[in-house]
Structure 1
Amino acid sequence: MSNDDGIQADQAPRPVGSYPHARRVGGLLLLSGLGPRDPQSNAVPGNVYDDNGLLDDYDIVAQTHSVFANVRRVLEAAGAQWEDLVDVTVYLTDMERDFAAYNEVWKEYFPDPASAPCRTTLGITALPTPIAIELKCTAAAR
């Protein structure tokens, strides 16, 4: 659904703050940072918690597939498609552990580097929820 204040995708996880999923500006569609949370349950795919409810481990492959699905949901809500992505910034909380596995998943979704969006991958210390990956995307608006 789209309105003057931005785009909220009913099928994507709710934002963790006061911001839209996306905003259309001229010929661009700017997506807010999206993580891998499941839209229905709000659970993070691949997270493993100990008996005290503390994060014990996670699966970067499961989270990468899930965050890509969430990006697709927002794009579709805005009338765009996966192929409209032009630039992606990826935030990983553990670059050393996760980059190779995440990069393999990336290649599944973008097998031809010539037609893939531009990409920057950053290693950061934390994200606002217990996730290991977040994407900030720009797409061509339709």
Structure 2
Amino acid sequence: MIEGIHADGAPVPVGRYPHARRVGQLLFLSGIGPRTPGNNVIPGNVYDPAGKLVDYDIVTQCHSVFANVRAVLEASHCRWDWLVDVTVYLTDMHRDFQAFNAVWAEYFPDINKAPCRTTLGISALPTPIAIELKCVAAFPEPR
């Protein structure tokens, strides 16, 4: 059974795709960024009077992206601790990697229970965000 999932508590996707799809015991989340649900404001972004992005707070964006992932997991009847693999996209690896790692450690304090992770430095994302996560979770096997 394949099921698409849309989470009311997460920001609307920027393209024509679901927040997640469940295939058997696996849940695949589409790329999720830090936009605020309901208004698409990007927490931590700083704009000049002309509306040009001049700075951002990666820690604020990290907390927001984790909240959005949690919202999609909850809408999917999935738990945070069922995450098994996370791909992280950072638009400035040199500036943000250390701060991201510190926030990651807050959400996954036990390294042996943390999901696997790959972190990539990329040149841009479709909206002016500094981070996006691509996640896979696994539901427990039915007993």
Runs of 4+ in structure 1 off by over 3 angstroms are none
* C-alpha contact 2:91 2:131 (8 A) present in aligned 1: yes
Q: When the two structures are aligned, how many residues end up with a matched partner?
A: 139
SS at match of 2:97: helix
- Shift of residue 28, structure 1, vs aligned partner: 0.2
- Shift of residue 94, structure 1, vs aligned partner: 0.1
Counterparts of 1:14 and 1:141 in 2: how far apart (Å)?
Answer: 24
The sequence identity of aligned pairs, in percent, is: 72
Could you list the runs of 5+ residues in structure 2 that have no partner in the other structure? none
Root-mean-square deviation over aligned CA pairs: 1.0
SS at match of 1:120: strand
Counterparts of 1:140 and 1:44 in 2: how far apart (Å)?
Answer: 29
- Shift of residue 40, structure 1, vs aligned partner: 2.2
Q: 1:28 aligns with which of 26, 39, 50?
A: 26
TM score, norm. by length of structure 2? 0.95
TM score, norm. by length of structure 1? 0.95
* C-alpha contact 1:24 1:141 (8 A) present in aligned 2: no
User: Quick one: which amino acid aligns to residue 19 of structure 2?
Assistant: H
Matches within 5 A, 1:60-71: 60-71=58-69
Q: 1:129 aligns with which of 127, 132, 139?
A: 127
* C-alpha contact 2:35 2:64 (8 A) present in aligned 1: yes
* C-alpha contact 1:5 1:20 (8 A) present in aligned 2: no
Counterparts of 2:15 and 2:139 in 1: how far apart (Å)?
Answer: 24
Which residue matches 2:97?
99
